[in-house]
Amino acid sequence: MDRRRIRVLLVEDEEIHRVVARAVLRAAGVEVEEAENGAEAVRRVRESGAGGGSGAYNLIFTDKQMPVMDGHEATRQIRAMGVATPIVAVSSDSLPPDVQAFITAGANDFTPKPLTKEKLGHILAKFGLA
């Protein structure tokens, strides 16, 4: 089966959530790079040469609550660089105001934690990556 390479940036400060998401992503054949906070995510996107396009990543998954810089601010800064890569918020905070805050910051979609095989499948399909 010839599949194109899919690269994802996973932005999550809690190791257990990174372990779970990494396992789901790798099982789907997705290449994963990780950032432990929003500032590190912004740096990785900037260094990937992402300005004005989709850059090195096909998809970015980000948590909300992280030290140094939260997911909302990271999303705003990545969008301010002109990056069009789909950003999906993955958070335990899934009430409508929480979801709307992420969408307002520039996220394309939201899914509650944990990331599962089924959720990943829907997200990849939604963004034409399946």
Task: Note the pLDDT tens digit of each residue in 53-71.
Answer: 556 899 999 999 999 999 9
Give residue for tokens 């789907």. 28
- Residue 2: the pLDDT is 42
pTM beyond 0.85: yes
In this prediction, residue 109 has a pLDDT band, given cuts at 50, 70 and 90, of: very high
Q: In three state form, how does the secondary structure of 70-106 look?
A: CHHHHHHHHHHCCCCCCEEEEECCCCHHHHHHHHHHC
Residues 6+ away with beta carbon under 8 Å from 47: none
98-122: average pLDDT = 95
Residue 49 in contact with residue 55, Cβ under 8 Å? yes
- Residue 127: the pLDDT is 95
The whole-angstrom separation of Cα 93 and Cα 111 is: 10
- Residue 51: the pLDDT is 53
